Amino acid sequence: MKSERANFGSKVGAILASAGSAVGLGNIWRFPYETGSNGGSAFILLYILFVLMLGIPIMIAEFVVGRGSQANTGAAYRVLAPGTRWKWAGFMGVMAGFLILGYYSVVAGWTLEYMARAALNGFAGKTPDDFIAIFTDFSQNPFRPVLWMALFLLGTHFIIVKGVKKGIEKASKIMMPLLFIIIVILMICSVTLPGAEKGLEFLLKPDFSKVDSGVLLSAMGQAFFSLSLGMGCLMTYASYYSKNTNLGKTAFSVSIIDTCVAILAGLVIFPAAFSVGISPDAGPSLIFITLPNVFQQAFGNFPVVAYIFSVLFYVLLVVAALTSTISLHEVATAYFHEEFKLTRGRAASIVTAGCIFLGVISSLSLGVMKGYTLFGLGAFDLLDYFTAKILLPFGGLLTSVFVGWYLDKKIVWDELSNRGSLKVPFFKLFIFILRYVAPVAIGFIFINELGLI
């Protein structure tokens, strides 16, 4: 079984696919706002500190479990800890990936709608109130969001069924460079706008007076969630790594790429927003209401530039969303493919069909099914809450404890050192962080996300 498993064909492919898993819509709408409202570059410095101290060690731990088991996330813990209850940690990772894809694909579908609107010049001449009305009418429509969501999932499905090398790796090698090219072009346009320096100051000027326990927890949480930890994606991808892949360097490279995309997104959004006197907020309203208005105002005297900027921005969002949906889809597809001996196509079809069903319910919960709630939350918000605030922190905690305390240290050493061929000077520090630092930090994130702090 192990010898028949697919592998990434190159180190670059492995890094770009893993980075694509980490890079998503959250980099573009959450990180810039968190940075701007929590002390600017002071928050960035704290974020980088927590990436180094918490994010990279847990990512490496996921890599160790994935490549060490050479199995899908659902089976990884069972392979490394046979006959124990650790198998449930793997099942939880598969469930997290599946549920996240179910509602994330709804927002991914929105990016397709807005890319099409931008391409048809549908934002030209619109007022701020028009943008609010456009988004409200669209998101609550019972048909159009569902259609775009299904199309996005079918596009993801098409890549997944082609396999690891010809599908995931090939797509990542195209999309990740494209993402960087687009975001750099947008950044250059944005920072050269009149008044852009106010946005740069808001984003990058350190304001240590804002740093308190809340900001520390926000930076810690952002480091954790930005790297897509706890949802099985990185663990699944690591199971496709070759035995020559340097896990430590790969984790560092993925973290650098993810952080660069997040900071570049801030350099696109804030200078443009402040140049027209609009303070951006967070969440979907930022990219579907605020920014279309910003682009039209900022480049109002140059309609062709406004058009190109808008189209490129929403292409960027589609690419960022697609790299994430591919990794989320692969978590569940690999599980069904390997555990139930299904063909890859059939396994992917089951996942796609299940996520379309979840996506329909999630989308309708924002409109015609708004009155149907559980614990006061509609389907979309309930899935978001359950995965982001419970499954992901808990999944990261279990991975940390498993590798730090339970797993034979010889297995951990063999994976990190590639069977003794690499030096691992950070090994003792790595184990110490997984045993003592990460569980406490994740515990604080968990309590904070539940609103108990």
pLDDT band at 5 (very low <50, low <70, confident <90, very high): confident
Determine how many CB atoms are found less than 10 A away from the CB of residue 213: 10
In the structure, what pLDDT confidence band is assigned to residue 70 with cuts at 50, 70 and 90? very high
Percent of the chain scored above 90 by pLDDT? 71
Highest mean pLDDT among 195-209, 211-225, 330-344: 330-344
pLDDT (0 to 100) of residue 202: 82
Distance from C-alpha of 393 to C-alpha of 395, rounded to nearest angstrom: 5
For the stretch 194-216, pLDDT in tens is 889 988 988 888 888 888 888 88
User: How large is the average pLDDT for residues 269-294?
Assistant: 83
Summarize pLDDT for 156-176 with one digit per residue, the tens: 999 999 999 999 999 999 999
Comparing 39 with 333, the larger pLDDT belongs to 333
Q: ∠ CA 284-290-292 to the nearest 5 degrees?
A: 105
Q: Rounded to whole angstroms, how far apart are CA atoms 327 and 10?
A: 17
Q: How far is CA 140 from CA 26, 180, 356, 360, 434, in A?
A: 22, 32, 17, 12, 44
pLDDT given at position 301:
79
**Residue 1 binned pLDDT confidence (cut-offs 50, 70, 90):** very low
pLDDT of the residue at 287: 87
78-116 residue pLDDT tens: 999 999 999 999 999 999 999 999 999 999 999 999 999
The percentage of the chain sitting over the pLDDT mark of 70, rounded to a whole number, equals 98
DSSP structure class, residue 195: T
Residues in the chain: 453
In this prediction, residue 4 has a pLDDT band, given cuts at 50, 70 and 90, of low
The pLDDT value recorded for residue 3 is: 43
What's the chain's average pLDDT?
92
Please report the pLDDT score of residue 208 as a whole number: 85
Confidence band for 281, pLDDT divided at 50, 70 and 90 = low
Count other C-beta atoms under 10 Å from residue 387's C-beta.
23
Q: Identify any residues that bridge with 374 across adjacent strands, giving them in sequence order.
A: 377
Condensed to tens digits (0 to 9), the pLDDT of residues 348-395 reads 999 999 999 999 999 999 999 998 999 899 999 999 989 988 898 899
User: Is residue 344 over pLDDT 90?
Assistant: yes
Say which residues have a Cβ less than 8 Å from residue 270's Cβ, sequence separation at least 6: 32, 36, 199, 200, 202, 203, 280
| CA max distance for the chain | 68
For the cut 80, the answer to whether the pLDDT of residue 292 exceeds it is: yes
Q: What is the mean pLDDT of residues 333-359?
A: 97
Mean pLDDT of 53-61: 95
The predicted structure's pLDDT at residue 2:
43
Domains in the chain, start-ordered, CATH in brackets? 11-449 (1.20.1740)
Region label for 72, one of left (φ > 0), alpha (ψ between -120 and 50) or beta (otherwise):
beta
Least confident residue range of 40-54, 241-255, 329-343: 40-54
Average pLDDT of the segment spanning 73-81:
96
Q: What is the pLDDT of residues 226-258, one digit of tens each?
A: 888 888 899 999 999 999 999 999 999 999 999
